Amino acid sequence: MELRHLRYFIAVAELRSVRAASEHLHVTQPAISRQIQDLEEAIGAALFERTPRGLKLTPAGVAYLDEARDILARVDAANRLAHRIASGVQGRLRIGFVENASWSGVVSSALNAFQQSARDVALELQPMNTPEQLDAIAAEHLDGGFCYRFGALPEGFDSVPLLEQTVVLAVPEHSPVGQHGSVNARELSGLPFIAFPRRVYAAYYDRLISACAQQGLTLDIRQEASTETAILSLVAAGVGAALVNAANRERPPARVRFVDVADLSVRLPLEFCFLLQHGNAALQRFIDLLKPAAQ
């Protein structure tokens, strides 16, 4: 049995005539009659009564008509769904992001634009640090992620470069440091610092420590916290100072003041990372949306 059997049967049942169905479907009458006969033989029941006034559905034919209509409607719905998923306007998209990257600018704009253009895509957003995102993408638990990348991407990855940030000094609100403007790195010697453990992102940690050392600053790290949100909460509590992503200026915590370090530059390149061989049309749609904003 094929779908055309159902379409021919429905046309004949609704029009109550093989001739009328033939004209409607642009198929010869003998072909339609043969397909109806094949359908009845496959089912093992007569679907029509042949009367002098035309064709009339049997009780089996009445029941079969409802089911046949439902089958074709479900097939059509499945076809539309498959087309929408293949076009990237329906489906699921799982994206990771470093929290401070999403507060303004290209990340928030891209997420908003994608939601407006693909409302039927289930967008799942997961805050993670960069190494966690790369691991999740490799394991296909995420489709892509906004990462601050240092060094080469893992094999099989690609990315869209978006922007560069740098670091800024965060101090308690009433700290005398930087009250009159920017400072130099050497002026920070002796300050108690809060930082994240090296295991969180070794490549970034090493770059930060090296950049400070080049300017004659050895960080006196008194406390560690695994996220910049936690680090800034400790700064607000007066525990110490911290060097954090300048993106935090977009959402300054209460009782924290940001100070530029004039001679300290640590490049923080933000990129959208993903697997080259991904097969997710919604992801490709998102990548295409990002590309005009690429560096």
pTM passes above 0.85: no
State residue 265 phi and psi, 5-degree precision.
-130, 120
Q: Which pLDDT belongs to residue 255?
A: 95
Report residue 277 as tokens: 């061989």
Residues 96 and 17 in one domain: no
Q: Residue 162: inside a domain, yes or no?
A: no
CA proximity to 227, closest of 196, 255, 198, 248: 196
Q: Which pLDDT belongs to residue 238?
A: 96
Which residues, 6 or more positions from 11, have their beta carbon under 8 angstroms from its beta carbon?
A: 21, 24, 25, 32
Q: pLDDT category, 89, cuts 50, 70, 90?
A: low
CA proximity to 268, closest of 213, 198, 205, 219: 205
Residues 171 and 260 in one domain: yes
Residues 122 and 209 in one domain: no
Residues 232-271 have pLDDT tens digits of: 999 999 999 999 999 999 888 999 999 999 999 999 999 9
Residues 281 and 259 in one domain: no
Residues 130-185 have pLDDT tens digits of: 999 999 999 999 999 999 998 889 999 999 999 999 999 999 999 999 998 999 99
Q: Which pLDDT belongs to residue 23?
A: 81
Q: Residue 239: inside a domain, yes or no?
A: yes
Which residues, 6 or more positions from 281, have their beta carbon under 8 angstroms from its beta carbon?
A: 85, 86, 87, 88, 91
Q: Which of 34, 59, 86 is the last residue of a domain?
A: 86
- Whether the predicted pLDDT of 295 surpasses 60: no
Instruction: Write out the residue range of the structural domain in which residue 250 sits.
Output: 167-266
Q: Do 254 and 236 touch, CB atoms closer than 8 A? A: yes
Q: Which pLDDT belongs to residue 88?
A: 61
Q: Do 9 and 47 touch, CB atoms closer than 8 A? A: yes
Q: Do 242 and 194 touch, CB atoms closer than 8 A? A: yes
Sort strands 220-224 and 268-275 into parallel, antiparallel or unpaired.
Answer: unpaired
Q: What is the Cα–Cα distance from 87 to 83, expressed in whole angstroms? A: 6
Q: Which pLDDT belongs to residue 85?
A: 66
Name the residue with higher pLDDT: 295 or 216: 216
Q: Which pLDDT belongs to residue 237?
A: 96
